[in-house]
Amino acid sequence: MTAHDTLERTWRDPGGFVGWFCAVNHKTIGLRFITTTFVFFAAAGALALVMRLQLARPDNHLIGPDLYNQLFTVHGTTMMFLFAVPVMQAMATYLLPLMLGSRSIAFPRLNAYAYWIYLFGCLMLFGALFANVGPDAGWFSYVPLAGPDYSPGKRSDFWAQLITFSEMSGLLGSIVIIATILKLRAPGMALHRMPLFAWAMLVTSFMVMFAMPSVMFASTALITDRLVGTHFFNPAEGGDALLWQHLFWFFGHPEVYFIFIPALGFMSQIIATFARRPVVGYAAMVLALIATAFMSFGLWVHHMFATNLPELGKAFFTAMSLMIALPTALQIFCWLATLATGRLVLKTPLLFVLAFFFILVLGGLSGVTLGMVPLDLQVHDTYFVVAHLHYVLIGGAVFPLIGAIYYWFPKFSGRLLNERMGQLQFWLFFIGFNLTFFPMHLLGLHGMPRRVYTYPAGMGWETMNLWSTAGAFVIALSVALFVVNVVRSVLRGAPAGNNPWQAGSLEWATASPPSAGNFLQPPVVHGREPLWEPAAQPAGVIGLANDQREVLITSAIEAQPDHRAIFPTPSPWPFVSAAATTLLFVTSIFTPWAVVWASIPVALALIAWFWPRVRETLAEKPLERAP
């Protein structure tokens, strides 16, 4: 058997039905994760289409207010918690180990567990929607509306537990990503040589760690208010409804940036490749990401300008809201300089990236306006805000994301996506998007409120709503074309080869799709764009076992080789533990005692997961060497 075959056999996930639940390889989990996020993107998009049909003409009675409330709540919740945030984690799960030159992601079983927890959370939310107990108090679930007095029944409890699922997955993902980035980089890839996407994920993961606990704490307090009679948000008993808004937005504003910052990472990778030169101002780019992360924690009150907070406080948050445009502008100027001085190759990924400049800048401008208290008060809770947030989130994250799928699809599958279909899809998406959301600015300025299931004739809103609905169907067509392109290309796309775009980062140094162990000979790095650098020595790493899951651990800053570590094998226990955790979360909606008895299976599954197996310990003994 060749060394390549041995390595493949060592790192491959087991086959068969049971094997499918044991997978831990970051590429397997990554692809499942990416696919699942896109399935729920499409599902939430379908809900939006129903809403747009309902709003296409005045006094429409296609669906009633109760279902409409569930639709916009589940649409927003899914897009934010089950698509936009996790899809970035999913892309990082697949890409980071390859980009950093490692054979694996850190804590592969924990990573698999994070995926299963995420999936079960998705299934619970949509199960609840189909059972007519879908949450209906908006994606930010404000109290007192979502509290026990105004939302009897279980709808808001499903929302609160969904948050527990998705935040648990996101928080564990952040630990996995930080450890991967700081400890599994190829020798020589000091922090100042790391790809900008890795920087973006590092910054994002630190933000996740400090922001997500806030919404998890808040949703736990909400569910205890609802289920066991605590009074966190009940003003009659010393609680405070605004406490909810503070806790939610202390998470919610950084959340926008942990959707946006990974997308900036995609931008940097794609622009460098298609401009055929490294991005201008590497240090400025990195510092801008870090500055954005810090500032994003000082913006949350701009979601609360319509409350009775002190005016001086609001002025501070206005200033911060304007200031955060600066680091983003800095990055945009660096990219423009890169594009202006590069040799452009105008392929589909670059088209999606160029659309970012148009759409995100418009969304940023409406954002800067919304940062001003007087204007915010005028358009608060109108369609102007809906337009703004879709320009920022779709322009800032979804366009670069789809560009990123076109860019990395050859690595995932070994085949190129069809370029003509890609360009057609791009134009449909770009036109459809602007047709849908641009009129919403005007609707908002004309006073149309958000979250109303219908509106009377004669308000002057009919035509713009009709255009907007038409645009939504153009987007749907574009997404359908994307699905067709993906399926067709998986089956019979043009073979891609290792590096179809002649890119400079390490994921392109290995086969497409990569072998199970990523690199037979892990690389040693001598510059920022390793594949564009002249050959230098040492060129690669030897001395890692191929018949064991052995990985090189390097130092956090300089990436000097530090020690070898044996990584875990495939295991059913992450799946079983996630199933037990799901049992705990779902049953606790119905009885608080479930927190006690349902934690027993969780503990047992986790112990079985951790418990060392004699055979594996014996196998790694010969490689053991004390520090």
Partner 1 sequence: MTWSDETTTAQRERSQQALQTHGGLLDVSALPSFAFSHRSLMWWSTAGLMAIEGAVFALAVVTMLFLRVHAPAWPLSGQLPPELLWGSLNTLVMLSSVIPNHWTKRAAEALDLRGARIGMLLCLGWAAVFLAVRVLEFRALNCRWDDDAYGSIVWMLMALHTTHLVTDFVDSSVLAAVLYRKPLALRRFVDVSENCLYWDFVVLSWLPLYAAVYWLPRMGAS
Hey, which residues between 515 and 574 contact partner 1 (CB under 8 A)?
A: 521, 524, 537-544, 552-553, 555-556, 560-566
231 binds partner 1 (CB under 8 A): yes
312 binds partner 1 (CB under 8 A): no
Q: How far apart are CA 397 and CA 613, in angstroms?
A: 43
- Look up residue 426 and give its two tokens: 């791009």
Give the three-class secondary structure for 115: helix
307 binds partner 1 (CB under 8 A): no
Amino acid letter, residue 542: I
Instruction: Count interface residues toward partner 1 (CB under 8 A).
Output: 72
Cβ(117)–Cβ(169) below 8 Å: yes
From residue 18 to residue 57, the character string flagging contacts with partner 1 as x (rule: CB under 8 A) and all else as - is ----------------------------------------
Tell me which stretch binds partner 1 (CB under 8 A): 207-215, 337-345, 491-499, 582-590: 207-215
Of 316 and 610, which has the nearer Cβ to partner 1?
A: 610
Of 207 and 288, which has the nearer Cβ to partner 1?
A: 207
What distances in angstroms separate CA 573 from CA 120, 121, 176, 523, 569, one per listed residue?
15, 18, 18, 32, 11
201 binds partner 1 (CB under 8 A): no
Cβ(215)–Cβ(549) below 8 Å: no
Return the closest-CA partner of residue 450 out of 383, 375, 377.
383
CB of 496 to partner 1, least distance (A): 28
| Residues contacting residue 533 through CB under 8 Å, at least 6 positions apart | 526, 527
Of 48 and 114, which has the nearer Cβ to partner 1?
A: 114
Cβ(269)–Cβ(197) below 8 Å: yes
CB of 297 to partner 1, least distance (A): 11
Tell me which stretch binds partner 1 (CB under 8 A): 2-10, 139-147, 244-252, 569-577: 244-252
Site for partner 1 in 170-199 (CB under 8 A): 171, 174-175, 178-179, 182-183, 187
Return the closest-CA partner of residue 454 out of 42, 71, 131.
71
Q: How far apart are CA 128 and CA 132, in angstroms?
A: 6
CB of 583 to partner 1, least distance (A): 18
Of 9 and 563, which has the nearer Cβ to partner 1?
A: 563
Q: Which helix (H) or strand (E) holds 246?
A: helix 241-275
612 binds partner 1 (CB under 8 A): yes
CB of 228 to partner 1, least distance (A): 7
Give the three-class secondary structure for 565: strand
- Look up residue 420 and give its two tokens: 């003509």
Of 76 and 252, which has the nearer Cβ to partner 1?
A: 252
Q: Which helix (H) or strand (E) holds 563?
A: strand 561-566
Site for partner 1 in 108-147 (CB under 8 A): 110
Among 283, 312, 491, 626, binds partner 1 (CB under 8 A): 626
209 binds partner 1 (CB under 8 A): yes
Residue 197 has phi, psi (to 5 degrees) of -65, -40
CB of 474 to partner 1, least distance (A): 42
Of 187 and 572, which has the nearer Cβ to partner 1?
A: 187
Among 8, 14, 57, 217, binds partner 1 (CB under 8 A): 217
Among 107, 113, 197, 384, binds partner 1 (CB under 8 A): 107
341 binds partner 1 (CB under 8 A): no
600 binds partner 1 (CB under 8 A): no
CB of 106 to partner 1, least distance (A): 6
The answer to whether the Cα torsion of 326, 330, 336, 339 is positive or negative is negative
Among 43, 106, 261, 355, binds partner 1 (CB under 8 A): 106
Amino acid letter, residue 403: G
Tell me which stretch binds partner 1 (CB under 8 A): 128-136, 189-197, 225-233, 568-576: 225-233
Residue 510 has phi, psi (to 5 degrees) of -110, 175
Of 456 and 543, which has the nearer Cβ to partner 1?
A: 543
Of 293 and 486, which has the nearer Cβ to partner 1?
A: 293
Rounded to 10°, the helix 26-55/462-492 angle is 150
Give the three-class secondary structure for 432: helix
611 binds partner 1 (CB under 8 A): yes
Amino acid letter, residue 578: A
Q: How far apart are CA 253 and CA 300, in angstroms?
A: 5
Q: What is the CA radius of gyration of the chain?
A: 25
Cβ(451)–Cβ(138) below 8 Å: yes
Of 105 and 474, which has the nearer Cβ to partner 1?
A: 105
